[in-house]
Amino acid sequence: MADLIEAFDAVLSDLDGVVYAGPHAIPGAVEALRGFAPRGIRLGYVTNNASRTPAEVAAHLRELGAPAGDDDVVSSAQAGAELLAKKVPAGTRVLVTGSAALAREIELRGLTPVRSADESPEAVIQGFSPDLGWRDLAEAAYAVAAGALWIATNADMSIPQARGIAPGNGTLVAAVQAATGRTPLVAGKPQAPLFLAAAERLGASRPIVVGDRLDTDILGGNRAGFATAAVLTGVDTRESILAARTAERPTFILSALDDFFRPYPDAEAHDGAWRVGSSSARAVDGRVEITGDPDDLDAWRAACAAWWNAHPETDKQAVPELHWTA
C-alpha cells in the first residue's frame, strides 16, 4: 500500500499548531516537511496569523530548519488587504488594528494606513498582533461605530502557544463586535479564496490541506474542494473531530505530519460496523460502540466512520456517548 502523500501533488500547511507552537517547532514537524520535496510534492504555508510578513514567516521557518521561500507563504494579511483594495479606492485612509506587517500590506495596495479614529478612516482592518491593547481596540470600535467598512483578516478564537492555548484574533474581533453591534467581513480562513490562491501559486491540481483547527483549516479546505487532513498537534482533539459538523469533517485524521509517510488505513463497512485496522465501531442511537484501544488512532478513525455515516448531514456539533470494549 502506498504512503498517503503519494495521492497528492502539494501540501497546503497551516503553521500554528501544525509546524510550531509559539517560537518552537513541534517535534517531528520539520523532518516531515523536509520529506515532501524528495517525493516531488510542492509545499505551501497558509496562515491566518497576520502579525508578520510572509518574508518574516519564511525566515522563521528556515531558522527552524524547514524548507520555505518567501513566496511559499500565503497569509490572511494579504487576503485582507486584497479584499479591502477591491472595496475602496486607492488612497483611502484605513485604520490598521494590528501589526506593522499588516500596515505594510495596506500600503502595498495603494491605501493609506492610520492609527486613530480621529483621522477619519473610511475602513478598518483588524488582524492579530500580540502587542494590541485596549486603546487599539477602542480606536477600532470608534471607527466601526462611525460607519467605517470593517474587515478582519481572520476569526480564530484561539492560537496555540508554547505555554498553551491563548486568545486569537477572533477573540479581539469579538470585543469590537460586542462594543459596536457590527460584524466584520472575514478575509482569511475559513474562506476558500486563501486556499485557492495558494494552490494556484504552487501550480497544484491535487493539493491536500493540513491543519489543527476544524473551524478554519478543515472548513476552508473543504470549501475549496480539496482533500483535508486534521493533525492532533494543536487545537482540535480526537473527541472534537468525532463530534464535528459535516462541513468541518476532515478527509483524513493524522497524529502528526509524519503520518503522511505511512499508508492510510481504509475504513471498511461490514454488518453495520466500520473497521479500521484491528479496531471497529458501530453507531447505535446516540452512542458509538468501539472495539479497540482509546490510545489507538485507528479506533477513533473507525468511530468517526461509524458516527459520520449514521449522521451524514448535520450543521451542529454532535457529541456521541462512547462505549469502549478492549
For residue 282, list its beta bridge partners: 289
| Catalytic residue status for 14 | yes
Cβ neighbours, 10 Å, residue 115: 14
Using CA atoms, how far residue 269 sits from 40, 128, 208, 290, in Å, is 34, 44, 25, 14
Residue 185 in grid coordinates = 467581513
Q: Catalogue the long-range contacts made by 172-181 (C-beta closer than 8 Å, 24 or more residues apart).
A: 172/97, 172/126, 172/128, 172/132, 172/137, 173/126, 175/137, 176/97, 176/126, 176/137, 176/140, 176/141, 176/144, 176/150, 179/137, 179/141, 179/145, 180/141, 180/144, 180/145
Q: In what order do the strands lie in the sheet with 123-126?
A: 112-114, 93-97, 123-126, 149-152, 185-186
Host H or E run for residue 77: helix 76-87
Amino acid residing at 251: T
CA nearest to 57, candidates 27, 10, 9, 13: 13
| Catalytic residue status for 215 | no
- Sign of the four-CA dihedral 22, 28, 30, 32: negative
Question: Out of 14, 156, 215, 259, which one is annotated catalytic?
Answer: 14
Question: Out of 9, 16, 136, 259, which one is annotated catalytic?
Answer: 16
- Which residues participate in catalysis according to the annotation? 14, 16
